[in-house]
Amino acid sequence: MVVNRESLDQGIIVDIAEEAARLGLFKVMSEEERQASLKHCLDKHDAESDLWLFGYGSLMWNPAIHFEESRLAKLHGYHRRFCLWTPVGRGTPENPGLVLGLDRGGSCRGMAFRIAAAHIESELRLIWRREMVTDAYCPYWTMLATAEGRIPALTFIVNRHHNRYAGKLPLEKQIQHIATAEGRLGPSRDYLLNTADHLRALGVYDKTLETLAEKVRRHLAPSPEDPEANFAK
């Protein structure tokens, strides 16, 4: 299942999340709650000014929004971590996958996207249908460092009080879930490997992500003793 403008507009991620809600896995925000959240966020932004959005995971390699400009950017005070369970999108209730969140401490390099003032509401409506289906993320205004100077930006940090918050998992547990979990949006490992590959293409070296990606690739590789073995199956 592809995440793009059309599928976001149709509410595909909302539909997937509602499947999980019917299983009692978590609560899904209503459309009214999402709109109220978006309005509250935009009340803090000058409607006449363009808006910068910071992406640190799938938004980097699949933004699915219209933007005028993108820049490499660095966020201080938060770091990228696989700390959010995904029991439907990239996993199952029996074997949930993991996706990234911004957690406290350190810093994170990613991409900042400039959205034209005239299109902020329409583009962020899509973002809210992607990132704010539940309240596992919290919209957060911050300052980013870029080569062209500091810019105010909107991003999403993990909600540590949400039941999907995984915290700091042991490396082996991360590897197991990311390597084997697969859901309606595809394998959890694709999310990791796409993010690692994109960062590398941008000239960004994330040691933690690279280590995790390499270990997941090894986990998936057939063993010398059993050429037919493949943990992805």
Q: Which are the catalytic amino acids?
A: 131
Collapse the DSSP code of 41 into the 3-class scheme (helix H, G, I; strand E, B; otherwise coil) and give the result. helix
Backbone φ, ψ for residue 156 (5° rounding):
-130, 120
Residue type, position 232, single letter: A
Quote the CA–CA distance of 150 and 172 in Å, as a whole number. Answer: 37
DSSP 184: T
d(CA 77, CA 79): 7
User: CA 68 to CA 233: how far, in whole Å?
Assistant: 41
Phi, psi of 161 (to 5 degrees): -95, 0
Q: Can you name the residues that pair with 112 across neighbouring β-strands?
A: 54, 71
